[in-house]
Structure 1
């Protein structure tokens, strides 16, 4: 095998001020423009809305202002307000909450006050009264706020909320331009996001530091660390040979197809983060062992293998409710807002066909776009066989590497369920488990810190940390909601406010937002708007569950940017990809996926119906 040439990456570049000045100027201009009325409204809803709603609920339930309420009464109002944000307007949903749920959403709670709040709603508030109160509170927040009616203090808070949305929108332009052009090293962009948000007053210095070290960031870091352990011990070689040794003709086309067939269905049930981290070393190994003296470098082959792994992870998530938070969010919205439930198996029946159809379509797109010089990976497989032959039997370090990996995967599968069942007293999170696995490799002597220092792309860790902050800002400031509402209002006069056109609008909007933020917040931003519209134009029909599922599916279309999904960021750590490579594949896939989900809705979903509901 030929020695692979050292790759020049975006990390080796200096800032290109001729390009960087463009997003800087646009960012500044956006901040100087007058604030649109819609942005002012959303700013009020997100900044002072919760406070006003809590006060309203206290007056309705307890006939006194929130400032005069007892702790359990304030707790009741806060829990109801949080439920309202999630679209959970029924008493039934309130009765399913517990103290752990309250703590998750940072609502101060203790067992005595929680029990009193719970008992009061259960015994003294009927389901009809509860629903009526919640709907009134929702209308107050969404339609009843008037800037001139606010107190001076609330007006100041509303002004701050409007400013935060404007900064977030300006940041969208800055970040997308920088990621697309690499006019600045991408980890530098990630740090710039935090700096801009602190300097502009959107977040505080303590909060921004915490966001850079989120559970998702820990997972990316831990995943890259265990991938480094796999590579050092040679476990990746054994796994690679196990997957592909049965191929009579190990052509790159067939190998990429196997990646799609294996990874995509698994992504409906296993974390796409974990799958990307598992298969990244295999993809890198295939490429490195395919190089020859005649072809010492084949960038297209490397890009093809890396992109295949990322896209295989991305297209699989919609297949089952366990494939992503977006799916559960939309199921919850549908149940809470309209009393329609989608079962686990039922979801698979509707959405797994999308995954199955996307596998060959994405495979074709990938093979059309990338044209590698090396097409046969037979030499790579022969080289692997020779390498494994030299290794002999599984050695101690390889066995430890696999044991720790299996324990990590078990932890990823069970940590949430075990916490909810009370087996774990605290919620660990997949990030903590990933880093614990990385430390376990150190303790077992599988790796030393130099291995992590040299083989982990730490820039990708910070890059994804910046993406987390970026998405968090769009969500929490209301910027994502404002974008969604603005686009839907703009397209409504064009006849895009009902039927398939409305679904196409919703899907397209969600698919754009999900490239800028996490899939869950993207679905959460668009879902309530489109579901409410759907209930107005097609009440009580199959359009409601179809809209919920389509929005969840569309929020997985984050194909175009490195920051779109964790798999995109993980494979970027290989060093073989550039931001434009995601665009090359992502844009065609984005259109293919949007068209496919509409066809699926119009033909397959409409053909089988939903729970005897009338069609739309």
Structure 2
């Protein structure tokens, strides 16, 4: 069958602003800004802006009978370390004594060896466990109960008002952004720039800060990933990889090929960056689709969407399988250790959470096949076409070999850059974004591509789209808006009697699963985790509920199936040009619901049956 050359596809980038629809998010944005600020929002603003100083003052007065401005450096360090421990919910003396200079650096505490030694020695020799715990509980009560917005005056009240305003802007911006993404009333990269403009015009960030936010390391990674995908397409490496993956199939049916995607990608996503996997498999998906078209079927949008969404979903469901599958996993492991001294080893995490990935593979695949109904069912013509093209290519040429070598070096760098920095092999921390861009430049230097290839084959709109998403999520986190949402929900469920056991777990999972669609998985886990772990420690102390809450929060923060901005793979496959925002919802909503159910069943069944060390059940 002859393959018909495709016409230029009209995408959301070709649309103009739909002012009738665009007016809705704009009106709602300003309506939220002009509504009275909720009391809870003012309390969170107070806690974020005034709270740290008030707590440090309270601690220095209690410990040294001096204001924080009058104490010695080591005394101030001791108080600040205690305040930081309070912030992450670690209230025991044992957790304080486990800290080191690296921990201080991680949380931005100015500490040298001499002052750190004095601060630690003081807590170790002058405070008993009971005294330390009582002091931390007093500080906690001061921060969460006694410190009221109404009692503030002068500069403190102005600071709290400013912080509450930033939270309100973040919430209004969230409504604006989500509605714009759902309706596509404005080209989506335009939404990304609206985010920056909103934040500058409302005074949440400065013009210099917003410019820096648009060039986050994750943005560099997305850009570099799309560039190396362009290099794979230019050289034909994608064709060779595709044929190697599927040549053994006797019947290259669409269903079996998508299942192979899931079987290969999902487990790998537990150990390899989901960004890289999405960027690597995207050209393969596009290649399969374009080569499946014939003169009889010149376009099959359902097939294109099925392949692209399948790649993204396979990346998304694989993340919880191992600690290396995402920042969220390490964050919750750290919180669990910081707050309760409970450790989850790497392999131990895999044995608890990989079953979730294994169960989700067939379920997500079935949902994908249920939601999309392609006209083309056999990809045999596409495979025949690929064989013909590769036969014409002959053996591996110089550019293809260089493309593979550079990619292998990049993958090695992604795996090792953090460890090598910690070991002192690298004098500076590179970050995965810098390595990705170094690879993109290496392709230029090696003559694999020229800049015209990048200009034409990279979807630069997706780069800006994800940059806006990074800023959006970071502002929700840093302003306290995500924390305000989480705290409001948790407080709302207390009168309903669902603030313990599996009901609390279900609420935590659902809340995390919603937030993670609006922000990065790490900040989503960081927003909900400390609150739910604190509650877990109160209602089920010393039980398996504590590690189960940590692991389930981490798993739930991978449920970003519904929005383009939810995960890097979602954004990367959008670069194909075949997807619309509603396509993510078609698969994302049922997968989100079922994933929450499976996580609860996994907790109630396998996890509870297995237990966790010597901890009692709940």
Distance (whole Å) between structure 2 residues aligned to residue 426 and residue 528 of structure 1? 31
Residue 315 of structure 1 corresponds to 317
Tell me, yes or no, if the aligned pair for 2:45 and 2:480 is still in contact at 8 Å.
yes
- What is the alpha-carbon distance in structure 2 between the residues aligned to residue 429 and residue 60 of structure 1? 42
What residue in structure 1 maps to residue 354 of structure 2?
A: 352
Task: State the partner residue of 1:594.
Answer: 596
Following the alignment from structure 2 to structure 1, what is the Cα–Cα distance between the partners of residues 385 and 461? 31
Show CA shifts across 1:3-33 (max 9, x none): 1221111111111110111111111111111
1:135–1:37 distance in 2 versus 1, CA, 3 Å: same
Q: CA deviation at 1:37?
A: 1.5
Gaps of 5+ in 1: none
**SS in structure 2 of the partner of residue 393 of structure 1:** coil
Which runs of 5 or more structure 2 residues have no equivalent in the other structure?
none
Alpha-carbon offset, residue 57 of structure 1? 3.2
Number of aligned residue pairs: give it. Answer: 616
Range that drifts further, 108-117 or 349-358: 108-117
| 1:420 Cα deviation after fit | 1.5
Partner of 1:381: 383
1:188-199 equivalence runs, <5 A: 188-199=190-201
Per the TM alignment, residue 102 of structure 1 is displaced from its structure 2 partner at its CA by 4.1
1:433 and 2:435 aligned? yes
Taking structure 1 as the reference length, what is the TM-score of the superposition? 0.96
**1:273-312 CA deviation, whole Å, 9 max, x = no partner?**
1111111111111111111111111111111111011000
Summarize the alignment of residues 70-89 of structure 1 with structure 2, pairs less than 5 Å apart. Answer: 70-89=72-91
2:289 is aligned, of 287, 290, 300, to: 287
Match of 2:329 in 1: 327
Describe how 1:122-133 pairs up with structure 2 within 5 A.
Answer: 129-133=131-135
Distance 1:206 1:119, change over 3 A: farther
**Mapped contact 1:90–1:336 kept (Cα < 8 A):** no
- Alpha-carbon distance, 1:137 to partner: 2.9
Alpha-carbon distance, 1:80 to partner: 3.8
What is the alpha-carbon distance in structure 2 between the residues aligned to residue 208 and residue 79 of structure 1? 30
Distance 1:206 1:345, change over 3 A: same
Q: Choose 71-80 or 595-604, whichever is displaced more.
A: 71-80
State the alpha-carbon separation in 1 of the partners of residues 115 and 538 from structure 2: 39
- Whether 1:220 and 2:212 are equivalent positions in the alignment is no
Aligned counterpart, 2:183: 181
Q: Which residue of 1 aligns with 2:531?
A: 529
Does 2:372 correspond to 1:370?
A: yes
Mapping of residues 325-474 of structure 1, within 5 Å: 325-474=327-476
* SS of structure 1 residue aligned to 2:69: helix
Q: Check the 8 A contact 1:5/1:296 in 2, yes or no.
A: no
State the Cα distance separating 1:359 from its structure 2 match: 0.2
Contact 2:261 2:314 in 1 (8 A): yes
Partner of 1:487: 489
Q: 2:33, 2:172 within 8 Å by CA — same for their partners in 1?
A: yes
Q: Is the 8 A contact 2:336 2:546 kept in 1?
A: yes
Deviates most, 8-17 or 126-135: 126-135
Q: What secondary structure, in the 3-state scheme, does the structure 2 residue paired with 1:613 have?
A: coil
Q: CA deviation at 1:271?
A: 1.1
Residue 67 of structure 1 and its aligned partner are, at CA, apart by 1.8
Is the aligned partner of 1:29 residue 2:31?
Answer: yes
Q: Give the structure-2-normalised TM-score.
A: 0.95
Specify whether residues 615 and 374 from structure 1 end up closer, same or farther in structure 2 by C-alpha distance, changes over 3 A only.
Answer: same
Provide the C-alpha distance between the structure 1 equivalents of 2:137 and 2:424, rounded to a whole number of angstroms: 34
- 1:493, distance to aligned residue in structure 2 (A): 2.6
SS of structure 2 residue aligned to 1:289: helix
Query: C-alpha separation between the residues in 2 aligned to 1:128 and 1:207?
Result: 44
Structure 1 counterpart of 2:573, from 571, 574, 577: 571
Question: In the TM superposition, what is the alpha-carbon distance from 1:129 to its structure 2 partner?
Answer: 4.9
CA RMSD of aligned residues (A): 1.9
State the 1:138 CA deviation.
3.0
Q: CA deviation at 1:540?
A: 2.3
Kindly indicate whether residue 204 of structure 2 is the aligned counterpart of residue 202 of structure 1: yes
Deviations 1:455-501 (A, max 9, x none): 11111111111111111111111111111111222233333222221
* Shift of residue 225, structure 1, vs aligned partner: 0.7
For residue 610 of structure 2, what is the aligned residue in structure 1? 608
Greater shift in the superposed pair: 59-68 or 358-367: 59-68
Q: What corresponds to 1:538 in structure 2?
A: 540
3-state SS of paired residue (1:66): coil
